[in-house]
A and B are shown apart, each in its own frame.
Chain A
Amino acid sequence: MLHYLIKRTLILLATLIVASLVVFVTIEVVPGDPASYMLGLNAQEDTVAALRAELGLDKSRVARYFSWVGGLVTGDFGTSYTYRTPVADMVADRMWVSLPLAIYALLLSTLIAFPAGVYAASRRGGTTDTVVMALTQLGVAIPNFWFAMLLVLLFAINLGWFSAGGFPGWDAGVFQALKSLTLPAIALALPQASILTRVMRSSLLDVLNEDYMRTARAKGLTRRQALWKHALRNAMVPVLTIIGLQFSFLLAGAIIIENVFYLPGLGRLIFQSIASRDLIVVESVVMLLVLAVVLVTFLVDLAYAWVDPRLRGAR
């Protein structure tokens, strides 16, 4: 187990180093000089040069890479070219919206998918199964921004239970903040829950056909006991994989939903930064997202080993 942990940790570090290089090089080859962009078309050449020096753009690429990475490690993400505020503060503000939203949506999707998937699998071919499969088909097919607008129409405009958008901040109280995240979380969770339900169902159906399920029944377990005690844990590996991928997607991929609900999240921050050539913000946020994805993958790997002893390696 220790060997497994060390190996996973090393892979995690290596991934981060490679990712930082890729992010840095990609940003380097993107056309457009932040300094001339910020000063406009009519700027004097020496003014641009002065700004470049101030932003540190005149140093060699190697030096800039190491100062960037060094900054990341110590928590100094640099200063935004456009807003002149520390990137770390900007990211932290946005993180407090995106992270809770992602977790909220993931919880919702898991809470829907587990019972739905288990229920459909245990009644394969029955009416419930057919209805669940039809609904998940619909859930995958409906674009989530459109579904989001339907939610706004119904719950915000017609019923008035929720506000149509915006985020009051956590200072306004946990309840208010969560309330404003509820409709976006539902919109995000719908397609994820549909996919997860299908994965849960098919994975469970595979396991239910395994020989050891027959052994379990021959022991005298009821169908339900056999499902809970023997099938569920064995069906978890593919489900965990999907949950890991979904969390990564929810953290950064919520940009459209953030726009529909006017939420100040990470997705909108990246979008605005790219539009205004605020490359240092782009670099740092992308790197942060890479870190999040890699960490989630790491946690999923650990969860695999917890679920399946065969992955723990020789003792």
Chain B
Amino acid sequence: MSDSLLQLNGVSLSIYDTPILHDVSLQVSSGSVLGIIGESGSGKSMTAFSIMQLLPAGSELRGSIVFDGVQLDALDETQLCNIRGNDIGMVFQEPMTALNPVQTIGAQVAESIALHKSVSAKEALVQAAAVLERVGLPNKAFPLSRYPHELSGGQRQRVVIAIAVALEPKLLIADEPTTALDVTTQAEILNLLKKLVDESDMAMILITHDLAVVSEVADHLVIMRHGRILDSAPTRQIFNELKHPYTKALYTASSHSPERATQPDTQAPLLELTGLVCEYPVGQRPIFGKRKTFRAVDEVSLAIYAGESVGLVGESGCGKSTLARALLGLSPVKAGQISLRGETLSIDAGFSRAVRREMQVVFQDPYSSFNPRHRVGRLISEPLHVLDSQPSAAELKALIRSTLESVGLDEVDADKYIHEFSGGQRQRIAIARALIIRPALIILDEAVSALDVSVRAQILDLLAELANTHALAYLFISHDLSVVRRITDRVLVMKNGSIVERGDTEQVFASPQNSYTKNLLAAAPQLPATSAQVI
């Protein structure tokens, strides 16, 4: 195609002789959206940085990158600076950290305008205000003098987009722009990006790991793995045919439903909450008087039965993590009652060891929740401290072995350190740590959110299998509705600290009653149907 705006031809990249990209060729034309899909380490972000010519030290780039008739890799730094921000804008994954915390949003948008246009500082601010209006931040509610920390994640992402589109670039590169956002915010940001493309005949490259997200926006898709392009075709064709085995594997993993066979024991609840209230102080302490408090959990009552899998969904800030911490005795409880197997727990004195061994937790980030200086054997045997009698050395070794084997790892892994494992393996280790004292309930706080789809499918299978063999109950906390639908029996929808809807998972997803639940479900991106044979 000669009319394409951007053309990559046989681009290869290595960093300090480690190959990153192999023979990447793709093209984008004005007014269209190219989706680049891949799991972590597939080279999708590095492709973006190659286009921007913003590569880390030690990078060696081969092949040709032609943008708007200009060979980008032949330009010097000054010429590139004139193109970056002016002709190519970029939006990043993490809106919380993508803005300079010590500058106002107005200054940050205006900077980009003043850099590429010869306008006065005052005029740049006027134009910045107009751009912020355009991305949905009306100046009345969001004056230019706001600092990033005074905005929410979605609002910050709008500012980042404003910076990227301030000069009406010909190409916008969005690298996982919605991954860190809630579903409803994600839908708004995707709509905004679509609107910007339609309005100004801009081309966009949307990089994501999420097939459902990209299916709604992109015209053409490129599937990457290990730095190579495996599959490339118009979006509808990709989903219809699922021609390449890896594309099919991704699609299957994204919609993977683990086989679950547990029958919850609905006689008496394992864990029961009545009228639970959690508050925490906010803002600065006034000179006299008490700090203001924020009610994160507002009179929540729920029950979890043995062997049952319960989902808890809601947007960030709705109080789901505070609730989980309160259940574990890690967060102070203001009022209400927690009972385990019919026995009321003392909230104030902290939970006894007998209670603690019944409930374990797996967190989202499998790396930072481990001490990097301990070996895996020690990491996973740590919960054994809550037992009354400690196992002997031989027993401990056998226990570590059997636990590692039950999560699909090997005995020899006990002597390794956590950095030697991949993200999925780390999450297996986190599950092993929770499992080792045979708890009745495991709280999974966004436990699969950071994982690639194929790894996520494996972990979901593992969880389902463990539930079958150990009669485990799960409280599955997530913002990812499609996963919750596939792994839970019942679901609770939380908003502003209260449960607004509850019921059997299938029923709630099929016919939501509460308007908030309806909005959540409507905003969640859907995988398109395929006519290909999916196993």
Contacts and interface: CB of A to CB of B under 8 A. Distances in A.
A217 interface: yes
A310 B101 contact: yes
A219 B163 contact: yes
B99 A10 contact: no
B102 A214 contact: no
**Residue among A3, A4, A216 with the highest chain B CB neighbour number at 10 A:** A216
B201 interface: no
B100 interface: yes
A222 B102 contact: no
Contacts of B115: 219-221
A308 interface: yes
A230 B163 CA distance: 15
B219 interface: no
B27 interface: no
Interface string B411-422: 000000000000
Interface in A1-22: 3-4, 6-7, 10
B81 A222 contact: yes
A61 interface: no
Contacts of B78: 222
A308 B78 CA distance: 31
Interface string A192-233: 000000000000000000111011111111100000011001
Contacts of A314: 283-284
B90 interface: yes
A75 interface: no
A12 to B, nearest CB: 13
A215 B102 CA distance: 14
Contacts of B100: 212, 215-216, 230, 234
A229 B111 contact: yes
A113 B337 CA distance: 58
B318 interface: no
Contacts of A173: none
A309 B97 CA distance: 15
Contacts of A214: 54, 92, 98
A310 B92 contact: no
Interface string B111-139: 11001100000000000000000000000
A99 interface: no
A313 B284 contact: yes
B343 interface: no
Contact of A218 (B54, B102, B147, B284): B54
B85 interface: yes
Interface string B83-96: 11110011010100
User: Ordered nearest first, which 3 A-B pairs have the shortest CB separation?
Assistant: A220-B85, A219-B85, A211-B97
Interface of A: 3-4, 6-7, 10, 210-212, 214-222, 229-230, 233-234, 307-310, 313-314
9 contacts: A217-B54, A218-B54, A218-B89, A219-B85, A219-B115, A220-B82, A221-B85, A221-B115, A233-B102
